Structure 1
């Protein structure tokens, strides 16, 4: 992947519905070049696809946050399985550094959010946690 591909991906992240003509003008290449680069990125697996973010999706979870979790011993896989079984947990991530797991959580109310945090903190093997509420989202690559 070269600089033009990276610039193309950046433009598509900003507006995946941009026309080939607009993308070509932005990149300073022909429409055919843009089309072939997109096809090549899809064929190679660098780009997996395109998505749509619906207004209803964005409004579904008015209370959202990230819960960073420290796990005792080797229980991370078990805790991730438990997290993934909770409807309020939208995604789980393993990480390095201070925290072992990060859970993206979304609920309709602060009370529900508080309840899910308390439930997760009671999981056997959760040693520590820290949670940050998401106040606004300026950009998202996916939903």
Structure 2
């Protein structure tokens, strides 16, 4: 993958619906070159697909936080099932090190976040927790 391919992928990550003409202009190459490179990247498996992000998926949660959890014994799977059942939970991640699970939480108010944190702390098997508010996000997969 050369520099043009990398720039092409960067442009597609920014806007996968960009026209071939717009991509060609941004990269300083022809439309035919852009089309050929996209097809080559798809055939080689470097681009495995394109996706749709729905309006609801891109909704911004005004209050976001990361909750790190220490779990007693072998209750991780049960706790993750409970976490994934909560509407405010955006993602759960298992980790190594001090914390067993990191939970991404999004709510509309601090009071709502506090209620979710309290609910999670009451789950059986939660030994300890620490929460950090997310102030800003520089890059997101969405």
If the TM-score is normalised by the length of the shorter chain, which range does it land in? 0.7 to 0.9
Distance across 1 between alignment mates of 2:9 and 2:68: 30
- 1:1-143 to 2 correspondences below 5 Å: 3-42=3-42, 44=45, 46-52=47-53, 54=55, 57-59=58-60, 61-142=61-142
3-state SS, counterpart of residue 59 of structure 2: helix
1:8-30 CA deviation, whole Å, 9 max, x = no partner?
Answer: 22222223333323323444543
Give the TM-score taking structure 2 as reference length: 0.77
Distance across 1 between alignment mates of 2:92 and 2:38: 29
Summarize the Cα distance change of 1:99–1:27 in structure 2 as closer, same or farther, 3 Å threshold: farther
* Greater Cα radius of gyration, structure 1 or 2: 2
Distance across 1 between alignment mates of 2:2 and 2:117: 43
3-state SS, counterpart of residue 93 of structure 2: strand
Q: Is the 8 A contact 1:13 1:141 kept in 2?
A: no
Q: Is the 8 A contact 2:90 2:105 kept in 1?
A: yes
Distance across 2 between alignment mates of 1:9 and 1:131: 35
Consecutive unaligned residues of structure 1, counting only runs of 5 or more, are none
- Number of corresponding residues: 141
Q: Is the 8 A contact 1:72 1:127 kept in 2?
A: yes
Distance across 1 between alignment mates of 2:69 and 2:113: 16
Consecutive unaligned residues of structure 2, counting only runs of 5 or more, are none
Shift of 1:53: 5.9
Summarize the Cα distance change of 1:45–1:74 in structure 2 as closer, same or farther, 3 Å threshold: farther
1:55-104 CA deviation, whole Å, 9 max, x = no partner?
Answer: 89434x22111112222233222111111011111111222333222211
